[in-house]
Amino acid sequence: MKKSQNKTKPLAQNRKASHDYTIEDTIEVGMVLQGTEIKSIRRGSANLKDSFARIYKDEMYVYNMHIAPYEEGNRYNHDPLRNRKLLLHRKEINKLRGHIEQPGNALIPLKLYIKNGVCKMLLGIASGKKKYDKREDLKKKQMKRDIDRALKEQYR
């Protein structure tokens, strides 16, 4: 008998990422957090919108990720928009460096969740979409929705 997977719902999600980017690959990374940040994340007070990851001095950081200050925190509360270090092995950083050095590619945070008591982030290697690609995706989504609606009505 297999163990059940520890599946939890994401505490923060970047919904706009799949609309603005084509996600080519994903990687799970850990984060270095201060004391009150994890409490705020567990409350669901994190925002991944407009955030991105970048390599700086052979270390990976996430920028523009907003974690709201913890209300019950004291004077040692954290800065909401500080750059947070991501935990990866050197080989993984070098592999990602090769991907993001190609023009048009970026590292975009997709989800933030707790796994086995530790905060994890799902990073996506993404390439930007053009405006006509976005329109095409919306058309496909609408067509699929219409087909599903018609099939549902047919089998009622």
> Residue 36 pLDDT more than 60?
yes
Mean pLDDT over 48-60 rounds to 88
Q: Whole-prediction pTM value?
A: 0.73
The CATH fold of domain 12-129: Small Protein B; Chain: A; (2.40.280)
CA–CA gap between residue 39 and residue 71 (Å, rounded): 10
What is residue 7's predicted lDDT score, i.e. its pLDDT? Answer: 60
How many helices (H) does the chain have, and how many strands (E)?
Answer: 4, 9
Q: Where are the domains of the chain?
A: 12-129
> Residue 1 pLDDT more than 80?
no
> Residue 63 pLDDT more than 70?
yes
Evaluate whether 34 touches 77 at the Cβ level (below 8 Å): no
